């Protein structure tokens, strides 16, 4: 009789729309749905092998509630995918710090519950990986969770724009502890940044010149509302613009970022792309594209891969370095090291071929 593989114990810092879609998606893929995953197995692990062992938030509509209830609580607007069973995991209170600041923080009802001892919760729950899903601009909260993961010897996935994985101080700290750190700023499975990057990369490979381009988003989620805060808007815009521009080997006018918040759109986002340039013999082209999608599943789709890839690194003791740089370049807009899309695809396939995939 074969030995049953151990689940991947994950803790979530922030139970928002992405966390809701991620948790529901894990249950959804336990029913053998074949569509929507880039890799059905990674290191022998399926999406349904992810176990949510702990969760932290600051909103009183989530803190103190079972995780199966908290994912549907306001201000979450993500679509209900499945009916979740009681998990037995109670959402714990965290230090608010800057997690409820700015315009997006207006939707948060900060709980008066006593903050949990996060390292103790992580150790008691035997957590392997802590995923940071706090709001854009919550740099103090992101660094606090990075420190808690380090103390608990957990891997840390920073899905936010806060500079953690790309910060040399944090890189050194995780390397000394022989812990895993990847990030920063999750790049959706299907979203404006990955689509814009691939379009420009395709045009460049085909010999076409890109003269100028923009990509603008409107949506009803927390990230879109954060764009109304000028400081947070600039953080996101700079990251998205740099991520898109990196695939073309010359400078050209480019703008990429959120432009407005539309409350009734809920968890949906619409992205507008415009590209102008030249091709053979100086002929001109113009490209207009519109993409509408749900934010939560777009984020959760890539995180499902990242979690299992980090678990693969842990299980095979591959350590912090070239492999984690590869994972960061695969799944994030602002990785510690930028790697060409072709090299990322080749490297990920080699990683999975060498350690089991399906």
Q: What is the pLDDT of residue 257?
A: 87
- Using 50, 70 and 90 to split pLDDT, how confident is the model at 356? low
Tell me what the mean pLDDT of segment 291-304 comes to: 96
Q: What is the pLDDT of residue 358?
A: 47
Name the more confident of 2 and 161. 161
pLDDT tens-digit series, residues 84-124:
999 999 999 999 999 887 666 678 999 999 999 999 999 99
Q: Is 180 helix (H, G, I), strand (E, B) or coil?
A: coil
Enumerate the domain spans of the chain: 8-187+297-355, 192-293
Q: What is the pLDDT of residue 228?
A: 80
* CATH fit for domain 192-293, picks 3.40.605.10, 3.30.360.10, 3.40.50.720, 3.40.50.300: 3.30.360.10
pLDDT tens-digit series, residues 244-264:
999 999 999 999 987 789 999
Whether the Cβ atoms of residue 219 and residue 268 lie closer than 8 Å to each other = yes
pLDDT tens-digit series, residues 24-77:
999 999 987 889 999 999 999 999 999 999 999 999 999 999 999 999 999 999
- Using 50, 70 and 90 to split pLDDT, how confident is the model at 3? very low
Name the more confident of 306 and 260. 306
Whether the Cβ atoms of residue 142 and residue 132 lie closer than 8 Å to each other = yes
Which architecture characterizes domain 8-187+297-355 according to CATH? 3-Layer(aba) Sandwich (3.40)
Alpha-carbon gap, residue 8 to 312, rounded angstroms: 10
What percentage of the chain exceeds 90 in pLDDT? 82
Alpha-carbon gap, residue 16 to 67, rounded angstroms: 11
Q: What is the pLDDT of residue 103?
A: 67
The answer on pLDDT for 156 being more than 60 is yes
pLDDT tens-digit series, residues 164-194:
999 999 999 999 999 999 999 999 999 999 9
The answer on pLDDT for 2 being more than 80 is no
Per this entry, what is the length of the chain? 358
Q: Are strands 129-132 and 8-13 parallel, antiparallel or unpaired?
A: parallel
The model's pTM: 0.93
The answer on pLDDT for 270 being more than 50 is yes
């Amino acid at each position: 009789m074969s030995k049953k593989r151990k689940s991947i114990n994950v803790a979530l810092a922030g139970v928002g729309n992405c966390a809701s879609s991620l948790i529901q998606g894990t249950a959804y893929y336990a029913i053998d749905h074949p569509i929507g995953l880039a890799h059905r197995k990674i290191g022998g692990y399926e999406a349904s092998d992810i176990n949510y062992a702990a969760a932290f938030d600051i909103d009183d509509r989530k803190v103190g509630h079972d995780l199966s209830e908290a994912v549907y609580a306001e201000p979450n607007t993500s679509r209900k995918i499945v009916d979740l069973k009681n998990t037995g995991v109670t959402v714990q209170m965290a230090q608010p710090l800057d997690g409820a600041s700015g315009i997006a923080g207006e939707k948060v009802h900060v709980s008066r519950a006593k903050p949990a001892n996060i390292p103790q919760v992580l150790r008691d729950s035997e957590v392997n990986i802590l995923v940071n899903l706090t709001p854009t601009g919550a740099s103090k909260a992101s660094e606090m969770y990075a420190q808690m993961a380090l103390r608990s010897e957990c891997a840390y996935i920073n899905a936010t724009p806060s500079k953690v994985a790309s910060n040399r101080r944090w890189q050194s700290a995780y390397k000394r502890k022989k812990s895993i750190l990847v990030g920063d700023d999750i790049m959706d499975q299907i979203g404006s940044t990955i689509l814009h990057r691939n379009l420009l990369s395709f045009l460049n490979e085909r010999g076409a010149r890109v003269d100028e381009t923009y990509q603008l988003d409107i949506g009803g989620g927390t990230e879109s509302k954060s764009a109304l805060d000028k400081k947070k808007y600039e953080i996101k815009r700079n990251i998205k613009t740099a991520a898109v521009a990196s695939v073309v080997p010359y400078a050209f006018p480019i703008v990429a970022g959120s432009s407005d918040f539309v409350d009734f759109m809920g968890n949906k986002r619409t992205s507008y792309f415009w590209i102008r340039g030249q091709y053979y013999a100086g002929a001109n082209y113009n490209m207009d594209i519109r993409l509408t999608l749900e934010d939560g599943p777009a984020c959760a789709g890539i995180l499902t891969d990242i979690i299992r890839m980090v678990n693969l690194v842990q299980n095979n003791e591959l350590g912090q370095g070239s492999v984690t740089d590869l994972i960061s370049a695969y799944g994030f807009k602002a990785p510690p090291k930028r790697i060409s899309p072709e090299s990322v695809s080749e490297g990920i396939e080699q990683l999975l071929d060498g350690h089991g995939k399906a």
